[in-house]
Amino acid sequence: MGDGSGSNRSNSNKPEWLQQYDLIGKIGEGTYGLVFLARIKSQTNRGKSIAIKKFKQSKDGDGVSPTAIREIMLLREITHENVVKLVNVHINHTDMSLYLAFDYAEHDLYEIIRHHRDKVNQPINQYTVKSLLWQLLNGLNYLHSNWIIHRDLKPSNILVMGEGEEHGFVKIADFGLARIYQAPLKPLSDNGVVVTIWYRAPELLLGAKHYTSAVDMWAVGCIFAELLTLKPLFQGAEVKATPNPFQLDQLDKIFKVLGHPTLEKWPSLANLPHWQQDTQHIQGHKYENANLYSVVHLSPKSPAYDLLSKMLEYDPRKRITAVQALEHEYFKIEPQPGRNALVPCQPGETFVNYPTRPVDTTTDFEGTTSMQPSQPVSSGAAVSGSMAGGHVSNRSVPRPMNVGGMQRIPHQTMQAYNVTSQAGISGGMNPGGIPMQRGVPQQQLRRKDQMSMPGYPPQQKSRRI
Amino acid sequence: MAANFWTSSHYKHLLEQEDVDMVNTLDKEKGITLEDFKLIKMHMANYILKLAQQVKVRQRVVATAVTYMRRVYTRKSMAEYDPRLVAPTCLYLASKAEESTVQARLLAFYIKKLYADDKYRYEIKDILEMEMKILEALNYYLVVYHPYRSLSPLLQDAGLNDLNMTQLTWGLVNDTYKMDLILVHPPHLIALACIYIASVLRDKDTTAWFEELRVDMNVVKNISMEILDFYESNRMFTEERINVALQKLTLRP
């Protein structure tokens, strides 16, 4: 939005810090805020893309959300090329909102996987899978060696940089649930926090009282498998009772693929509350044959399978660590992992052009629901009209997305945004010429699941406990 | 970073004593002396502790809150950031950072209970507004390392981990937050100074043990002296002197 164009109500009380950015539009939405795409105006870094995560003031009148506090707290201390970079924090005192500015990442694993599954209809090439995995482990090793557990790793939280200096670099994002584990950590559920169950380690599903870094490695295993097959490995149906229901179906999905856990292989299993109590008779389920290799279409003798099975080791104490995984044979054989995960360095390899994130250019920083579908034309014109030379282009094509771990924009609100028909201007932004549907709810079923498993609970809930 | 103090923002931002002892120009204009400045910060550390006991949070939250408060006043004036609001708000923010969130409502309630004086009277809204200003003043650096963590491994290593020594050193560490030590010295050196004092008080010979540690004993001894000086002068810190100092803040220059 141009300064002084004055057509937008937000300009009247636009805080000073905001003037250093050109707002492009909204790129994500979550239970606790919105994410915007903006570009830096200043000479140094001019045009650099920034993702700005806005935290809403919590409804229960308890100030800055603890999630935001802890995310800032951690991100302010860590720097690693495979961890998302917090470039700035801003506060708007008038409406008491808090903004985190990150280096913008064009892609994430959720979108990359979905693109392969639904659009190009072919697996992700081996070089890319291996490079993504290696960088993910590299970032995770950094976190773990600094005693930080992420606790909510999932494809949508693993970002990948678009074209530029760091093209194809993996960035671990969303540290709202991350913890320093110098002191034993209570289960997230004790704080009323709900995270998606598909990537949840079996010890947590069985009621383990404390987190270890092994829970992140389990999630990495699930993500590895998903990169290979383009399908979530353990797609359990979530039980949504309060406050920490036993996730029978999720465990059942795991047992079916990995075989039943045994006390011989996992001695501390006996101490896990849900296993001990066994109210739903999980001990009685008998899935004898592990068939992980056939599910992921790998030879049981391949290094890839060996690494995957070590990540999906039941006993958290035996599960491979990030540093061990980085040393695994899989990363030493061809193709070797590279720094640009999206573009193989070997000539002759084909690579995929991934679509850019859709940007909803009708929402401004105050971008509240009131601005939404009812009057997209007027507000949209005000914002997009002042944007420099059409570089938004086909970004206005709605595509549910995520950045910095935000929930995707619900497609209902997206559908109205076809009005900003700038799709034709671009050319450059979608070099692969990948046809993108406009406003069609894609992956509706999957998204429904996602929306009903918000990464974060209503803030009141976590605070009441 | 959590494992490595030496790469943390806490370490990078340690200050020189003279920077900590700089009274803000605005406060100077109000007649606040260095003595007043220290006195008010000590009083506010006590206030934070009292509030924390009411809302029942761990010592670590108190220590973090006091550190925030002290950091704020290396950058901001007491004239603009009223200590009587900054203190409870630091506790509020620290409770979130240390994962034991206390409701603003509860704090506002206990503020009233602890102080009848109108000058202490702040409502939820004030705390929430100040929370953001404090975040800003801290430049969003929120991780704080405390001497507590190194205390028990050090005591154990020195063979002094009996109940008596543990309690004594823990109490000494608590008292170091009445000073600005946490802004100036690495926490493990503060812990060592407390062990040093405790071993002198209890007549334990730790000379050999200290010699084996690869730390600058001069720094440890200087910290110890500072702590002992504080105990010495502590008697003179009367309620009345604190009130006089706080009064200056409210007066027009």
CB contact under 8 A, A69 and B96: yes
In a domain, A318, yes or no: yes
Cβ(B23)–Cβ(B41) below 8 Å? no
Partners of A179 in beta bridges: A149
**Record: contact A64-B135, CB cut-off 8 A:** yes
Q: Which of residues 136-175 of A touch B (CB under 8 A)?
A: 145-148
| Residue A65 and residue A42 in one domain | yes
- What distance in Å separates the CA atoms of residue A250 and residue A285, rounded to the nearest whole number? 13
Higher-pLDDT residue of A365, B43: B43
Q: Which of B97, B103, B128 sits opposite A96 (nearest CB)?
A: B128
| Other CB atoms within 10 Å distance of the CB of residue A448 | 13
CATH number at residue A447: 3.30.200.20
Beta bridge partners of A53: A35, A100
Contact B20, B191 (CB under 8 A): no
Which residue, A164, A141, A124, is CA-closest to A82?
Answer: A141
Q: Is the CB of A70 less than 8 angstroms away from the CB of B99?
A: yes
**Residues A77, A183: one domain?**
no
A94 and A115, same domain (yes or no):
no
> What residues of chain A lie within 8 A of the CB of B5, using their CB?
none
pLDDT for A289? 72
Residue A436 belongs to a domain: yes
Q: Which domain holds residue A362?
A: 9-106+356-464
Q: For an interface test with B, give the residue of A55, A77, A141 to mutate (most B CBs within 10 A).
A: A77
- What residues in B contact A98, CB-CB < 8 Å? 132, 135
Domain count, chain A: 2
CA distance B236 to chain A (A): 38
**Looking at per-residue confidence, does A431 or A410 come out higher?**
A410
Residues A132 and A197 in one domain: yes
Q: Which of A57, A69, A94, A141 to mutate to test the interface with B (most CBs of B within 10 A)?
A: A69
Give residue A429's pLDDT.
37
A334 or A189: which leads in pLDDT: A334
CA distance A153 to chain B (A): 20
H or E segment at A350? none
Q: Is B4 on the interface with A (CB under 8 A)?
A: yes
CA distances from A332 to A127, A138, A140, A311, A340 (A): 12, 15, 19, 17, 17
Statement: residue A373 has pLDDT above 70: no
Nearest residue of chain A to residue B1 (CA atoms) = A146
Q: In chain A, what residues touch B141 (CB-CB under 8 Å)? A: 76-77
Do A297 and A410 lie in one domain? The reply is no
The residue in chain B having the minimum alpha-carbon distance to the alpha carbon of residue A181 is B2
Query: With a CB-CB cutoff of 8 Å, which residues 349-378 of chain A face chain B?
Result: none
Q: What domains are defined for chain B? A: 5-143 (1.10.472.10), 147-234 (1.10.472.10)
Cα angle A295, A135, A457; round to 5? 75
**A-proximal residues of B, 116-155, CB under 8 Å:** 124, 127-129, 131-133, 135-136, 140-143, 149
A293-303 pLDDT per residue, tens? 889 999 999 99
Q: Are A117 and A230 spatial neighbours (Cβ–Cβ below 8 Å)?
A: yes
The complex's ipTM? Answer: 0.89
> Distance between CA atoms of A316 and A209, rounded to whole angstroms?
13
Contact between chains at A62 and B103 (C-beta distance less than 8 A): yes
Spatial distance between the Cα atoms of B75 and B140, rounded to a whole number of angstroms: 13
Do A48 and A155 lie in a common domain?
no
Active-site residue list of A:
152
Are A253 and A286 part of one and the same domain? Answer: yes
Closest chain A C-alpha to B59 CA, distance in angstroms: 14
Residues A181 and A264 in one domain: yes
Q: Which chain A residue lies closest to B106 (C-alpha atoms)?
A: A62
Model confidence band, residue A451 (pLDDT cutoffs 50, 70, 90): very low
Among A294, A316, A331, where does a domain finish? A331
B9: nearest CA in chain A?
Answer: A77
pLDDT level of residue A60 (50, 70, 90 thresholds): low
Using CB atoms and an 8 Å cut-off, which of residues 175-214 of chain A contact chain B?
179-182, 191
A99 is a domain residue: yes
Name the token pair of B153. 């491994």
Shared-domain flag, residues A310 and A377: no
Report the alpha-carbon distance of residue A71 to residue A83 in Å, rounded.
13
Please give the Cα distance from A379 to A360 (Å, whole number): 11
Could you tell me if residue A346 is inside a domain? Answer: no
Measured between CB atoms, which of B8, B129, B140 is closest to A72?
B140
Q: Tell me if B128 and A63 make a contact (CB, 8 A cut-off).
A: yes
Asked whether the predicted pLDDT for residue A405 surpasses 70, the reply is: no
Give the number of A-B residue pairs with CB atoms closer than 8 Å.
83
Distance CA B63, CA B147 (A): 10
Cβ pair A148:B92 closer than 8 A: no
CA distance A422 to A266: 57
Residue B122 to chain A, least CA–CA distance (Å): 15
Q: Report the alpha-carbon distance of residue B128 to residue B75 in Å, rounded.
A: 20
Q: For residues A85 and A145, state if they share a domain.
A: no
Contact A222, A232 (CB under 8 A): yes
Of A69, A91, A462, the CB nearest to B97: A69
Domain annotation covers residue A244: yes
The interface residues of chain B toward chain A in range 177-236, judged by CB-CB distance below 8 A, are: none
Considering the domain boundaries, does residue A336 fall inside one? no
Tell if the CB–CB gap between B142 and A147 is shorter than 8 Å: no
A295 assigned to some structural domain: yes
| A323 CB within 8 Å of a chain B CB | no
pLDDT at A14 over 80: no
Give the tokens for residue A372: 């939404």
pLDDT average, residue stretch A254-277: 89
Residue where the block lists tokens 């406990």: A465
Picking from A63, A69, A74, the nearest residue to B104 by CB comes out as A63
In this prediction, residues A67-72 reach a mean pLDDT of 88
Of A76, A146, A148, the CB nearest to B140: A76
Q: What is the pLDDT along chain B (253 residues), one digit of tens a residue?
A: 456 788 899 999 999 999 999 999 999 999 999 999 999 999 999 999 999 999 999 999 999 999 999 999 999 999 999 999 999 999 999 999 988 899 999 999 999 999 988 889 999 999 999 999 999 999 999 999 999 999 999 999 999 989 999 999 999 999 999 999 999 999 999 999 999 999 999 999 999 999 999 899 999 999 999 999 999 988 778 888 999 999 998 876 5
Domain CATH for A156: 1.10.510.10
Give the chain B residue nearest A66 (alpha carbons).
B96
Taking CA atoms, A213 is separated from A150, A158, B236, in Å, by 8, 17, 51
A302 plus A360 within the same structural domain: no
A286 is in an annotated binding site: no
In the predicted model, what is the mean pLDDT of residues A116-134? 94
Q: Do A26 and A359 meet the contact criterion of CB atoms below 8 Å apart?
A: yes
pLDDT > 60? residue A252: yes
Tokens standing for A79? 């720097």
Rounded alpha-carbon distances, angstroms, from residue A274 to A206, A254, A263, A281, A332 = 5, 15, 14, 10, 40
| Residue A338 is assigned to a structural domain of this protein | no
Cross-chain Cβ contact B143/A73 below 8 Å: yes
Least confident window among A229-238, A375-384, A404-413, B122-131: A375-384
pLDDT band with cut points at 50, 70 and 90 for residue A360? confident
Report helix, strand or coil for B62. Answer: helix
Same domain flag for A210 and A67: no
Distance from the B38 Cα atom to the nearest Cα atom in chain A, whole angstroms: 28
